[in-house]
Structure 1
Amino acid sequence: MEIRRDQYLKQLVDYQWDGQVKVITGIRRCGKSYLLRTLFKNYLLEQGIKEEQILSFELDLAKDIRFRNPLELSAYVREIVEPSAEQYYLFVDEIQMSDQVPNPYNVNGASITFYDALNDLRSLPNLDVYVTGSNSKMLSKDILTQFRGRSDEVRVHPLSFSEFYSAVGGDKQEAFETYAFYGGMPLILSRPSDMAKMNYLKALFSEVFLKDIIERKRIERQDVLEQILDLLCSSIGSLTNPTNIANTLRSKNQISVSVNTVKHYIDYLEDAFLFSESKRYDVRGKSYFDFPNKYYCEDIGLRNARIGFRQQEMTHMMENILYNELIVRGYSVDVGVVYSREKNKTGTQTKVPREIDFIASMGSKKVYLQSAYAMPSEEKIEAELKPFSLTGDSFPKVVVRKDIGKRWYNEKGILHIGLLDFLLDEAAI
């Protein structure tokens, strides 16, 4: 089964021959290698590039083990590319498997790393360089830092619902229910049963993601890391901060931990692409709040697996899926805060904060979105729509709903659109 990843393929095509190292990043097992070594390679072959012009190395395999030495890799590639008039493409998969070796020309103990090798190779005018990689030795974000402006990032995410549906087809509602339960990690599609899917997702957490973080960051309190992970998974879309989490661990789990430790551990989970933080933004004050903020899981299936496929609250799951969809589409996503003046029980006017689920921004484009599982009453409709009237601007406003089919605009120009309609139509906003 070939899964189309057209938006990522287009980025690789657009970045060809720009003199930069193309670095494909993302959570482990989300399809980075498949994008490079299958989809992009097939594209090049269709454009007339010959097989021998694509130099491909898989450093996690025994056949390419000698090329873990960056000097060996550099020398081998140069020997092929430098004397030739042909254009070549270099693919290095699992680049973090590369060894650090002594510099034979430096007696002071300096080392040669793959950063040195790739920065050297990118200087060849007839070589275009592409790499993937992330594991316990080096998570993908670190690669970009080391290349210091000499790289292009292609950030790959788990399958969006439209990618998932393009592969499975059939009834849209049934497909969405499967997606909302198991998420979009690509190998889910090849697992033959529900039990196999659940076991695969659970194993990803225990055998891949957690091991990566624990080994690489030398985590001393694995119990704390796992408790933080459980809390974040249980409270997706809820406001929190490291202080709240530390207090919860102390009061409910009798675990004593500092706020700084909690903050570092959350940072590690974000570095591993497991979670994203969405900051709260004062729409009219045009400023960000320091805390609390919201955290969303990179894949809803991974979140469900971590909590044992319990807590299937579609309101929160739908919000997480919408957040991820906006990120995949290239938006920066904040939580909006607006204020209304309302009378309290004593009749005094007070300033009441109200929330807009998402402010989606891309350049000069901005859209306000509310995620509403259902709006069965006038009171619910008023509560969901009121924050839109408090923004003081005319940017588009959208309510994404699970309880409607056809899209429509109300008298104030607010778009009401069904969830599946929104997820399957990138031009909806």
Structure 2
Amino acid sequence: MDTNQIKELIEEQKQEFEMEVPTIRRQKLEEIDSYSQIPHIVVITGLRRAGKSTLLKQIKKRYYPEENIYYMNFEDERLLDFKVGDFNALYESFLETSKQSKVFFFDEIQNIPDWEAFVRRMYDRGFKFYITGSNSSLMSRELGSKLTGRHVKLELYPFSFKELIGSKGIETEKEFYLTEERARIKKEFSQYLENGGIPEYYKYGNKDIIRNLYDNILYRDIIVRYGVKDETAIRSLAYYLITNPGTEVSYNRLKNVLGIGSQTTVKNYIDHLENSYLIFTINAFDYSLKKQIYSKKKVYIIDTGLMNVLAFKFSKDTGKILENIVFLELKNRGHDIYYHVDKNECDFILMEKGHIIKAIQVTQRMERSNEKREISGLLEAMEKYGLKEGLILTEDTQDALEMDGRKISVRPVWKWLLE
């Protein structure tokens, strides 16, 4: 690339990066505390437009307030011709246009093939890197090639409910709420169920933001990147999954329902959607890894706002939306998540260090019509995995039950999210 053009980009992006924009403080910033003190490359991955660039700004403000850093956003269309060999010219341009630094901030670096070669070389020379990317599989492959043992990785999701409530000045570190606070939190939670936490959509409320984001991810990050030839098939699959969060699916059934060529094609398409952070899949728990792999999957969506805009229904399934929100929070908290199915079903089984530590059931409300089913699934899981306590999360019910010598806590999802 032309060095003059690179210098112009550096200056322009620097001004934009340093603009003071009111932002909601991300919880992931706390994880950076220890990461900033070690030489390892800090890798932040997540959905496009989920706030990775904003997190970089918060890292700069908190940990390098008086220092110069080298910043480049590789999502800029003027960098389409940038190749790995241009990194030297980029570094020289940084030296010529700004004060020397030992810290690089690179945004959406997965757009540059073989980027890890430059990062490894500069890392060995004592430079610190904070980099972001929007493709889980691609980043993992590249990090595993030249940067094994030299990086730490965290995933950033759209705003959590706790982040949004915290930004409104409501104290969340308590068990009981005044009537006024409770009403305000429940109102905010209703909006969160509907709108989710994608930053731009949360701020502006324009549904075209979601539609454009979705089309951008599906076309640029999946169809173009992976060379998908049957665009109609992958769009149909994505829409089906987004319309059915928390539903058990099998590759064979999806192949038949959607008329896609083979189970292998369905699996590849789901992998592409998952790598781009549009969806997540979990397995039914089994002590046999082989049985886990071949079990039906349950699929969850990255954001309920995206789900509500793209998969509009005249009658929304609030119970499934609540289940999706609980899954995202468990994922955000770093849990290893499965579901249980036998005679009955339990929504979430959490594993830690090789042991099952919790069983969670999610339902919109506890009523006579569903109480037996919800409790039976939870009790079955608790008995199978030797758990003395279980959790049922509902829209707005709080209770404490004891059955068959086991304790079951019933809590509102909104209150659990604020713990």
Task: Name which of 363, 370, 375 aligns with 1:372.
Answer: 363
Residues in 1 aligned to 2:392 and 2:371: alpha-carbon distance in whole angstroms: 10
How far off is 1:387 after superposition?
A: 3.0
**Map of 2:10 onto structure 1:** none
Cα distance change of structure 1 residues 272 and 141 upon mapping to structure 2, 3 Å threshold: farther
Cα distance change of structure 1 residues 409 and 285 upon mapping to structure 2, 3 Å threshold: farther
User: Does the 8 Å CA contact 2:45/2:135 hold for their aligned counterparts?
Assistant: no
Cα distance change of structure 1 residues 55 and 278 upon mapping to structure 2, 3 Å threshold: same
Residues in 2 aligned to 1:16 and 1:410: alpha-carbon distance in whole angstroms: 46
Task: Name which of 351, 367, 379 aligns with 1:389.
Answer: 379
Q: How does 1:306-321 map to 2 (within 5 A)?
A: 306-308=310-312, 310-321=314-325
Q: How does 1:8-407 map to 2 (within 5 A)?
A: 8-36=28-56, 38-45=57-64, 50-52=66-68, 54-61=69-76, 69-75=86-92, 88-98=102-112, 113-125=114-126, 127-134=127-134, 140-149=139-148, 150-168=150-168, 171-191=184-204, 193=205, 196=206, 198-250=207-259, 256-282=260-286, 288=292, 290-308=294-312, 310-338=314-342, 353-363=343-353, 366-377=357-368, 380-390=370-380, 391-392=383-384, 393-404=386-397, 406=398
Residues in 1 aligned to 2:121 and 2:225: alpha-carbon distance in whole angstroms: 27
Gap regions ≥5 residues in structure 2: 1-21, 171-180
RMSD of equivalent CA atoms? 3.1
Letter in 2 for 1:2: T
User: Does the 8 Å CA contact 1:234/1:311 hold for their aligned counterparts?
Assistant: no
Cα distance change of structure 1 residues 71 and 359 upon mapping to structure 2, 3 Å threshold: same
Tell me the percent identity.
Answer: 24
1:48-82 CA-to-partner distances (Å, cap 9, x unmatched) read x5232x2222334589899861222355668999x
Cα distance change of structure 1 residues 372 and 78 upon mapping to structure 2, 3 Å threshold: same
Letter in 2 for 1:26: G
**Aligned residue-pair number:** 376
Gap regions ≥5 residues in structure 1: 101-112, 251-255, 339-352
Letter in 2 for 1:329: R
Letter in 1 for 2:209: Y
Residues in 2 aligned to 1:257 and 1:244: alpha-carbon distance in whole angstroms: 12
SS at match of 1:288: helix
User: Does the 8 Å CA contact 2:165/2:185 hold for their aligned counterparts?
Assistant: yes
User: Does the 8 Å CA contact 1:399/1:415 hold for their aligned counterparts?
Assistant: yes
User: Does the 8 Å CA contact 1:402/1:419 hold for their aligned counterparts?
Assistant: yes
Higher Cα Rg: structure 1 or 2? 1
**Map of 1:346 onto structure 2:** none
Structure whose residues are more often helix by fraction: 2
SS at match of 2:344: strand
Cα distance change of structure 1 residues 141 and 283 upon mapping to structure 2, 3 Å threshold: closer
Residues in 2 aligned to 1:223 and 1:31: alpha-carbon distance in whole angstroms: 30
How far off is 1:371 after superposition?
A: 0.3
1:341-387 CA-to-partner distances (Å, cap 9, x unmatched) read xxxxxxxxxxxx2111100223357110000211121x532221123
Residues in 2 aligned to 1:21 and 1:230: alpha-carbon distance in whole angstroms: 36
User: Does the 8 Å CA contact 1:74/1:121 hold for their aligned counterparts?
Assistant: no
SS at match of 1:220: coil
**Map of 1:344 onto structure 2:** none
Letter in 1 for 2:202: L
User: Does the 8 Å CA contact 2:217/2:276 hold for their aligned counterparts?
Assistant: no
